[in-house]
Amino acid sequence: MGAANADATGSRIMVFVRLRPMSRKEKEAGSKTCVKIVNKKDVYLTELASENDYLRLKRVRGRHFCFDASFPDSTAQAEVYSTSTADLVEGVLQGRNGTVFCYGATGAGKTYTMLGTMDNPGVMVLAIKDLFLKVRQRSYDGNHSIQLSYLEVYNETVRDLLSPGRPLLLREDKQQVMKLLQQGNQNRTTEPTRVNETSSRSHAILQVVVEYRYMDGTSVVTRVGKLSLIDLAGSERAIATDQRSQRSLEGANINRSLLALSSCINALVEGKRHVPYRNSKLTQLLKDSLGGSCNTVMIANISPSNLSFGETQNTLHWADRAKEIKTKPLTAGNEEVFKAPDSDTDQAKLVLELQKE
Ligand code: ADP
Ligand code: MG
């Protein structure tokens, strides 16, 4: 059972942390572990204190965090999927939009969590596989269509990583999906930066639109749900990259999308009427998939190495803040829940519009 059920009212965003194993490079650089996860919930940053002095760390601001679940470095992809995202897939089939973000510094494990490898597929692939399974279980009483688009936001431009101009109608074949997404990922803009030579400087957004038609008496009922799975660009500060080259503009734009995302999150946390979705391409794409009656999950990815202490602390702070985002509970009085989300054609139109701008 997914942990999202733990919050049965669905009244806020779910936030998870995933620690990746120490890399060979980090070991060779003499890294020490500076993160401890206890009871799959509590995260301790231990660099400046004795590793086992949890009680003391609990009193030090910014050294102890608690999330809906925290995944130690041994956690399997399937467990990350079932705990964080499986409930959202169920919601999408019922016409409720769902969004999963991976947030963290370059190299922290975002792409591994979202896409994974052929042998260890990640959330994107497992979600689509599960979607097909669930559709098969219920398709005796209606018709489903599943459309997929894989977009990149890079330097405030939107690019289609799979099929320019239109969403792809998806047929059931897990292998095909993995290949498709891997191909898409190869089309992602990756530029060498000073902090990490193969750092991905773009946001990748997989959107799966499920349309479900069934007969209710003599009338056809259509339900549309959209699942957005997002592999954000590295969250490290632009200041750490080369400011003299063209990349500083790019850094500013990456930050523009991340900043806009933060502003939207702040507005949602504070319950403001106006949420500034229009401030960046990323947030424009997510305007019906963030806050409101949408199920939202954030996975913060972190490295265990003390060499990344600062980035890890920043990521944990961001994730801690995101916990406060309120979403609307799914109740009969909540009309927004029953308003059909943007249809896939509206979505295609929006993408074309954003590409033109
Ligand atoms: P990011 O997308 O955040 O820049 P990656 O997902 O590319 O980071 O991860 C960096 C490296 O660490 C990759 O080689 C990846 O395979 C590996 N890695 C990340 N997370 C895990 C994990 N949970 N288990 C095993 N290897 C991982
Ligand atoms: Mg990546």
The string of pLDDT tens digits covering residues 127-173 is 999 998 888 887 666 788 889 889 988 888 888 888 766 667 777 66
Any known ligand binding at 345?
no
Any known ligand binding at 95?
no
Report the nearest-CA residue for atom 11 of ligand 1.
107
Average pLDDT of the chain is: 79
Residues 6+ apart with CB under 8 A from 63: 44, 45, 46, 49, 57
For residues 161 and 184, the answer to whether their CB atoms sit within 8 Å is: yes
Mean pLDDT confidence for 24-28: 95
Q: Model confidence at 52, in pLDDT bands (50, 70, 90)?
A: low
Q: How far is the CA of 8 from the centre of ligand 1 (A)?
A: 32
Any known ligand binding at 117?
no
Q: How far is the CA of 20 from the centre of ligand 1 (A)?
A: 7
Mean pLDDT confidence for 4-24: 75
Predicted pLDDT of residue 87: 95
Q: Which residues surround ligand 2, an ion (CB under 5 A)?
A: 110-111, 200
Any known ligand binding at 98?
no
Predicted pLDDT of residue 135: 86
Tens digit of each residue's pLDDT (9 = 90 or more) over 255-294: 678 888 888 877 877 778 888 999 899 999 888 888 777 8
Position with higher pLDDT, 2 vs 88: 88
Predicted pLDDT of residue 242: 44
**Ligand 1 atom nearest 23 alpha carbon:** 12
Q: What is the pTM of this model?
A: 0.85
Predicted pLDDT of residue 261: 86
Predicted pLDDT of residue 125: 93
Predicted pLDDT of residue 25: 94
Highest mean pLDDT among 108-122, 179-193, 339-353: 108-122
For residues 160 and 150, the answer to whether their CB atoms sit within 8 Å is: yes
143 strand-pairing partners: 213
Q: Model confidence at 191, in pLDDT bands (50, 70, 90)?
A: low
Q: Where are the alpha helices (DSSP H) in the chain?
A: 24-28, 54-59, 77-84, 86-93, 110-114, 123-138, 174-186, 247-269, 281-285, 309-322, 335-338, 344-356
Neighbours of 6 (CB within 10 A): 12
Percent of the chain residues topping a pLDDT of 70? 74
Predicted pLDDT of residue 344: 53
Position with higher pLDDT, 262 vs 90: 90
Any known ligand binding at 104?
yes
Tens digit of each residue's pLDDT (9 = 90 or more) over 340-355: 445 555 667 777 777 7
Residues 60 and 118: their CA atoms lie apart, in Å, by 41
**Dihedral sign computed on CA atoms, order 27, 81, 330, 272:** positive
Report the nearest-CA residue for atom 20 of ligand 1.
109
Residues whose beta carbon lies within 6 Å of some atom of ligand 1: 20-21, 23, 104, 106-112, 200, 234, 301
- Tell me how many degrees the CA angle 134-139-140 measures, rounded to the nearest 5: 135
Ligand nearest to the CA of 116: 1
Position with higher pLDDT, 272 vs 254: 272
Ligand 1 pocket, mutate which of 16, 17, 19, 20 (most atoms under 8 A from CB): 20
Predicted pLDDT of residue 69: 97
Place of tokens 């007969």: 215
Mean pLDDT confidence for 102-109: 94
Report the nearest-CA residue for atom 22 of ligand 1.
20
Q: Model confidence at 252, in pLDDT bands (50, 70, 90)?
A: low
Place of tokens 């990490």: 196
Q: What is the DSSP letter of 170?
A: P
Q: How far is the CA of 111 from the centre of ligand 2 (A)?
A: 4
What string of DSSP letters covers 91-117? HHHTT--EEEEEE-STTSSHHHHHTB-
Neighbours of 54 (CB within 10 A): 16
